[in-house]
Structure 1
Amino acid sequence: MALIEKQRLLAELSPPLDRLLCTQLLDEFVSAERRFIQRDWEPSQLDGGQFAEVAGRIVYCVDSGNVSLSKGFDDCAKYVENDTNTHKIIPRHDALHVIRVLRTVYKFRSQRGAVHISPTYTPNHMDSKLVIELVRWVMNEMLRLFWRGDREVAAKAIRELLQFDVPAVGVFEDKILVQRTDLTADEEILIILHYGGEHGFSRSKIGQAAQLSPPSVTKSLQKLSAPDCRQVIQLSNGNYRLTDLGSRRIRENLASKLLL
């Protein structure tokens, strides 16, 4: 499975969550992630506010036992925060932590300006970085609290949600393809293995996705897994995946090359 798939998340979260709200939550999460990766700073604050609205409704629905597809964020938050109400999420602090973080995310939608402090680094950039990290934390908490399937799969989903989306990798029916043509062989392999997540890919699958010759795949894998590099490791099933060093190289050096 390439990273964590949206349909798998939906299947594991609904039930117990309302399917429409859960679908909206995943859509808003993916949208916020994609905009941030593409350095589209300003809209990410709006996306964060929309994510907060949906997440607030989900917490309210679970905590109150009443499904509402339109209840306002503030009303949802106030219900959860009111100690006199009957609450189904136990322990209480789990729901309260989520609501407090969501309040911060939601306020950014209307209370932050767009005054630039330099040509290259703006408050919008800093705000967006904060918002996306808060959104990621809430999404992880949703999985931790409401996932009803295999707990190890949930843990894997949480780990993989910390990784970037990969717009440069396309999926066409049963075919996976690195769509950029300006990458070195090492970069193509790192990007396809980043997309491969914890399961990774076989040597032949890597060559097909990156459209590299067998000798090029072999040479790059040997280089990337060598003792002086250690960015790729071969698993016991024969597949290759990124190490933490490989993931760091993606974040620090190749993030821009994940885009189309």
Structure 2
Amino acid sequence: MIDKTRLLSELSPPLDHLLCSQLLDEFISAERRYIQRDWEPAELDGGQFCEILARIYYHLDSGVLSQGKDFDDCCKYLENEQVKHKVQPRRDAIHVIRVLRTIYKFRSQRGAVHISPSYQPNHMDSKLVIECVRWAMNETLRLFWSGDRESVAKAIRELLQFDVPSVGIFDGVLLVQRTDLSAEEELLVLLHYAGEEGFNRTDLGKYAQRAPSTITNALKKLASPDCRQIVLLGSGKYRLTDLGSRRVREQLSTKLLLQ
């Protein structure tokens, strides 16, 4: 999948290297905390994300690099019709700034009055914040990614996938750090982590803690006409189908977390 190092190399330049690195750290942190159902910190991360991204757009639009400029001052410059702006078309920058203002104001001014005693404000508020953060990140990729358009489209699709805290990397070796998964579930988690690139049979044999015959049987079942949750590509790699992604999203989301 697209990782931080690749994103940083594709976005900086034109984005300032330090600001871009900070932005990616905040984005990854917000995603991870949200998936781990850590609602309140996800909202706080959203505010820090807004501050950094506003400074990035101010830098790109004004040509002045200020790694500590106030959030509101950055936004006011981008909204000012009396100065010359470098980010074109103007509407793209304005859309991003309006979304950032919405996130920033919402998370700082959210009241304590709720719909009913059963309403869960932390979850609902965090969901709104994370979706706006995702949109702002993806729009920034669309505008400033230095690679080809298919690469940025792929990056955007992969950024919208769940983070997989249960998958760790140890000296280059992937490991699903749960012991309560069936063979099918472990393969689905691995292929979810692999994204659009997928894994070949050798990779899956290396990463899945299963007997070779068990892996083969699970792959056959998942790819069977009655299941169709994975597909074998012409490259020899397996990847999730939409049905497989839906199963991960709807049935295995809690198993993407560490136990």
Q: Same fold (TM over 0.5)?
A: yes
User: Structure 1: where are the runs of 5+ without partners?
Assistant: none
Partner residue, 2:240: 242
Q: CA deviation at 1:118?
A: 4.1
In 1, Cα distance between equivalents of 2:214 and 2:105? 50
Partner residue, 1:205: 203
1:210-225 mapped onto 2 (5 Å cutoff): 210-225=208-223
In 2, Cα distance between equivalents of 1:40 and 1:114? 19
Structure 2 length-normalised TM: 0.96
Contact residue 107 and residue 129 of structure 2 kept, 8 A: no
CA deviations on 1:96-117 (whole Å, 9 max, x unpaired) are 0000000011112311145674
Q: Is 1:181 matched up with 2:208? A: no
SS at match of 1:57: helix
| Corresponding letter in the other structure for 2:221 | K
CA, structure 1 residues 207+91, in 2 after alignment: closer, same or farther (shift >3 Å)? same
Which of the numbers 248, 251, 254 marks the counterpart of 2:249? 251
1:1-260 mapped onto 2 (5 Å cutoff): 3-113=1-111, 117-118=116-117, 121-260=119-258
User: Structure 2: where are the runs of 5+ without partners?
Assistant: none
In 2, Cα distance between equivalents of 1:227 and 1:243? 12
| Corresponding letter in the other structure for 1:60 | Y
In 2, Cα distance between equivalents of 1:124 and 1:225? 39
CA, structure 1 residues 229+114, in 2 after alignment: closer, same or farther (shift >3 Å)? farther
| Corresponding letter in the other structure for 1:84 | Q
Contact residue 115 and residue 122 of structure 1 kept, 8 A: no
In 2, Cα distance between equivalents of 1:258 and 1:184? 13
In 1, Cα distance between equivalents of 2:13 and 2:180? 44
CA, structure 1 residues 118+38, in 2 after alignment: closer, same or farther (shift >3 Å)? farther
Q: CA deviation at 1:78?
A: 0.6
Contact residue 13 and residue 148 of structure 1 kept, 8 A: yes
In 2, Cα distance between equivalents of 1:217 and 1:113? 51
SS at match of 1:241: strand
| Corresponding letter in the other structure for 1:66 | V
Of the structure 1 ranges 144-153 and 191-200, higher mean CA displacement relative to structure 2 is found in 144-153
CA deviations on 1:181-212 (whole Å, 9 max, x unpaired) are 00001100000000001110011211221211
Q: CA deviation at 1:258?
A: 0.3
Contact residue 32 and residue 44 of structure 1 kept, 8 A: yes
In 2, Cα distance between equivalents of 1:173 and 1:36? 27
In 2, Cα distance between equivalents of 1:75 and 1:101? 16
Of the structure 1 ranges 12-21 and 107-116, higher mean CA displacement relative to structure 2 is found in 107-116
| Corresponding letter in the other structure for 1:25 | L
CA deviations on 1:108-136 (whole Å, 9 max, x unpaired) are 231114567446x5111101001101000
Of the structure 1 ranges 74-83 and 208-217, higher mean CA displacement relative to structure 2 is found in 208-217
Structure 1 length-normalised TM: 0.96
| Corresponding letter in the other structure for 1:190 | L
- Number of aligned residues: 257
Task: List structure 1 segments (4+ residues) > 3 angstroms apart after TM superposition.
Answer: 113-119
